[in-house]
Amino acid sequence: MTRRKVHLVGSVPLADNVEVFHAAAKYLPGLVSRFPDGEVGRRWIMMQRRVAAECPQLEPAASRSYTPGPTYEHFQLKAGVDPASVVFPPLGYIEPAVQSYATFRDLRAKGVLPQESRFLVTFPTPAAFLWCYIRPDQRAAVEGSYLRRLRQEVDEIVDAIPNEDLAIQWDTVHEVLMIEGARDSMLSPEEHIDRLVAVGNYVPAAVELGYHFCYGYAARKHTIEPSDTGLLVDIANILAERVARPIGYVHMPVPRDRSDDAFFGPLARLRLDPGTELYLGLMHLTDGIEGAARRISAAVKAVSRFGISTECGLGTRPPETILPLLKLHAEAAAL
């Protein structure tokens, strides 16, 4: 019997990368093709406050960005600073990626992880850093400098890890919320799409590329609930058309209470390339296999081929829920 593939979005709150790799291999055998290190000790964009605080051309600002969960303190250019002169310190992605890849490689050599699997590195898009940590009227001025630093991090990781072993995922949260009008934005929807195309094209062709679309997940709930999958389908179709290299997968969240045709219907007009996998984030521990079955049954009316996952990373979940959730994925993969 063919089973649906499983995607692990990124963060997994277990003790360390060894425990994350072992848990995924044990509870999801044959279902996962890319393995994250769990981002243990790294809290997505929250780790980037240090980057802004340590940048010598920036200083604290009076403004803030507010979410249903964290509040983010802004930084601004110091008086007289040329924005083009801003040089950000290392963002903190390189060393964990290189160290975790070494663990991944060793476990794969021992047969713990599948030989054909890849190591997954996830990056927030530049919009995440800019919205969280830069004063709104200075985001455009600082964007170029931050993007240069981010590209350096990507370059070093790509140089350090064999490309055929690597997958890079762009966590696309703020673009979705800004296009929806749920957050202030310095860009038009078209400009946001341009930037998503550009970061995708920056990943070398031999590295697998993925996009994780999200509606925010502060306090373990969406910033706003999507009315349907329509916007994400539109974005995915544009990326499929404009990104000049293959896209390995796209991931879309599914709220727990949506198992209706209206929510999933737009998936019928999804135009992904044949080699691009679709993952639907319809796994929710709170309603178990019955809820997963309802959502899968609704989704297959619009699109027949898709894998399964959670809505977002698991970093905010209690650690004791992780293994039951992985077991639930394995059960639902047979539906």
**What is the reported pLDDT for 321?**
96
Residues of the chain with pLDDT under 50: none
User: So where are the chain's domains?
Assistant: 17-332
Q: Per CATH, the architecture of 17-332 is what?
A: Alpha-Beta Barrel (3.20)
Locate 147 and state its tokens: 């993007």
**What is the reported pLDDT for 42?**
79
**What is the reported pLDDT for 45?**
84
Measured distance CA(163)–CA(69) in Å, rounded: 36
Measured distance CA(269)–CA(279) in Å, rounded: 16
pLDDT tens-digit readout, 267-295: 999 999 999 999 999 999 999 999 999 99
